[in-house]
Every structure is written in C-alpha cells, then in structure tokens.
Amino acid sequence: MLADLEELVTCESYSADHAAVARSARVVADQGSRLLGARPETLVVDGVTHVRWSFGAPRILLLGHHDTVWPIGSIKTHPWSVERDIARGPGVFDMKAGLVQMFHALASLPSLDGVCVLVTGDEEVGSDTSRPLIEELARQCEAALVLEASAPGGALKTARKGVSLYDLTVHGRAAHSGLEPEKGVNAATELAHQLLALGRIADTVTARTGPGTTVVPTVMTAGTASNTVPARADLSVDVRVPSAAAQDAVDQLIRTLRPHDPRARLLVSGGPNRPPLDPEASAKLFALAGDVAARLGLGPLWQAAVGGASDGNYTAGAGCPTLDGLGAVGDGAHAAHEHVVTTTMPDRARLLAHLVGALQ
C-alpha cells in the first residue's frame, strides 16, 4: 500500500494543470487495473481527465478524485516521506491515500459485481466537468461511498454544508484622485458598502433558518493606479449553508443587492454550487458501517458534520444514500502539515471491503 501511495503522490496532479492531471489519470488507471484486473474507461471532458471502472449494472458507486490543490513543483518543497508511521507529501491525505485504500479493498473481494468506481480530475475546483458524470451514476446506484479523507480522529462524514459561489463586480467612474475626485464614482468605496451588506445577509439567514450559514468575502481587487479613483472593483464570495432552505435564502438575498451610490453599477454572478449533504442521506449507511466495524473488531465508528464540501454533496443531492470520509486518517488537507497515519490504512481498507460486500 505504501509503494502504491508513493506512486500516486509523486505523480503531481494540480487541478489547473490539465496535462499533469492527464499524467496522474494514467498512473491511477494503471494502478487500479493491476489491482482490479480490468482496464478503466478514460473520460476527457473539456480537457480534464477522469477514470471509471464499471462491473456490471452499477449499484454501488465508489467515488474519489486524483487532482490536488498543490501546484506543480510542490513535491520538492513537501517531499514524499514516511517516518514513524506518518506519510507526507502533496495530496497524500486529500485524497490519494483514499484511492490506495479503495483499490486494495476492492482487490480483496471475490466479486465486483454491481460496483462502479469513478475517480475524477477536478474535484478541488468545483467538479464542473465531472458533475454530470457523478450525478448520472448516483441516480442509478443504491449507495455512494466517498473516499475523501476522514474527519479528525477517523470519523466518517455524515453531513456536509452546501456551497454557493458568487462574484460581485462594481463599475464606477475613473477620475484623477487629486485634481477632481468628485467627478469619479469610487468602485472600491461602493464595494465596501456591499461587504457590509453581505454580513447582514448571513445574520438574516441565520435568524430565518437557524445557525450554520457563513457568507465570507475572499478575493477582492480594485483600482489601477494610486492617483486614480477606481473605476472597477471585484469581489469573490464563498457561502456555506447547512440546509437547502438556507442556500435558497442566501441566493435570494444576494440577488437583491443594490448599489449604495446610484451612480455605480453592481453586477452579481454565480450561485449555488454543491447542495448540502443532509444527515438523513447517510444515516442507514453509517449504521451499516458501524455493524461491519463491530464484526471486524475495529471498535466504534464516529461521525462528524463538516463545513467543507465534496462530490458526496452531488450524490446525495441526486437522491443516492451517501457515506463520506471513508478515506485516509490523518490531518492537514491543503496545508503544509498534510499527512496520513499509515498504520490505519489496512483497517480502513478492510472496513470498506466488508461494507461493499454487505451492500452487494
């Protein structure tokens, strides 16, 4: 398992580099073929490479991704290493160890009848090209098992917040900031008013639908020169919601935003990206996984609700029962301290194998 993990981690797969993602997909395909005894389909959608295995009519979807947030060259600054049962390297936790565990789990089964495996190449950037593939399979399947990394302590993820993404663009009017600023319409100042309005949206939705909604301004730009009234300002907004009602409420309120300065023009684009993963979508599968773990002597399983989203949001949104966080145990997704506890990998693979067997 460690040799396979090294092979995946050292083949860098930054989401924005489609050539690197294609190379990674070939490595994933070869590794999976060796362990599963079958070649996959390679699906290239708008330049992004995904890999899919199907064993008969799909009933059980195993879902993962091979792209990472780490730019090419990160393997030099965060090299692959294993020391004292800790494996490190770009993407080792999110989520290449989960892929290794999945392949080894499936390799141990006497039959893969009804199993479909989809490993996507753009999960870290919103799954724009893979979403139709995911949802089409989810609508055919009775269960989706997501190999994303576990929550702290190895907990399975039984609820995830939904995600909405927005871009606000303010168009003002440029003018010399020293000679005649009054002739300008300051887009940066207008955007500051919109920032305050966004904060009020989060409070309003929380009052209406309950706690858990966040509306977070992230990337902001304005202006072209230090002596010029900014004619344009742009803002990206990341929204996380605990429920579909909250997602709808945020969307309605953001679309009612109006310029504070009537001379400015405000454009709002974007909208809901991933629906929430409701705990009800995971309840029966988590109970089954708990029974399997008890039979294997793996101890009690824990569950967690998390703010981050995954492709499991899409499978649940398509009506397929979904259990997430079945991948690696470790910490530090997207961070310099990203790592996997290697001693947990065999037991996580055993749990997955027996869970799939129980669903067949």
Q: What is the pLDDT along the chain (360 residues), one digit of tens a residue?
A: 999 999 999 999 999 999 999 999 999 999 999 999 999 999 999 999 999 999 999 999 999 999 999 999 999 999 999 999 999 999 999 999 999 999 999 999 999 999 999 999 999 999 999 999 999 999 999 999 999 999 999 999 999 999 999 999 999 999 999 999 999 999 999 999 999 999 999 999 999 999 999 999 999 999 999 999 999 999 999 999 999 999 999 999 999 999 999 999 999 999 999 999 999 999 999 999 999 999 999 989 999 999 889 999 999 999 999 999 999 999 999 999 999 999 999 999 999 999 999 999
**Residues 233/191, Cβ–Cβ less than 8 Å:** yes
Closest among 333, 343, 302 to 90, alpha carbons compared: 333
Query: What is residue 299's predicted lDDT score, i.e. its pLDDT?
Result: 86
Give the distance between the most distant pair of CA atoms in the chain.
80
Sign of CA dihedral 336, 341, 342, 345: negative
Q: Using a cut of 0.75, tell me whether the model's pTM lies above it.
A: yes
Structure tokens at 152: 């702290």
- Smallest CA-to-CA distance from 67 within 133, 3, 148, 155 is with 148
- Which tokens sit at 65? 């991704």
Q: Are 152 and 305 in contact (CB under 8 A)?
A: no
| Dist CA 340 CA 98 (whole Å) | 10
Q: Is 137 helix (H, G, I), strand (E, B) or coil?
A: helix
At the topology level, CATH places domain 2-160+276-359 in: Aminopeptidase (3.40.630)
**Residue 255, Cα to own-chain centre: how many angstroms?**
25
Given a contact cutoff of 8 angstroms between Cβ atoms, the answer to whether 229 and 177 are in contact is yes
Q: Which pLDDT score is estimated for 229? A: 98
Please indicate whether the domains covering 2-160+276-359 and 162-274 agree at the CATH topology level. Answer: no
B/e letters for 193-230, b = 16+ CB within 10 Å, e = fewer, are bbeebbeebbeebbeebeebbebebeeeebbeeeeebb
Task: Sketch the domain layout of the chain as residue ranges.
Answer: 2-160+276-359, 162-274
Torsion on CA atoms 117, 34, 8, 349, rounded to nearest 10: 60
DSSP string covering 28-67: HHHHHHHHHSSPPEEEEETTEEEEEEE-SS--EEEEEE--
**Taking a C-beta distance cutoff of 8 angstroms, is the pair 279, 287 a contact?**
no
DSSP category for residue 235: E
CA proximity to 102, closest of 359, 356, 292: 356
Strands in 81-83's sheet, in edge-to-edge order, are: 81-83, 86-88, 339-341, 330-331
Which numeric CATH code is attached to 162-274? 3.30.70.360
- The neighbour count for residue 94, using CB atoms within 10 Å, is 27
Amino acid 199: pLDDT: 93
What pLDDT is stored for residue 172 in this prediction? Answer: 98
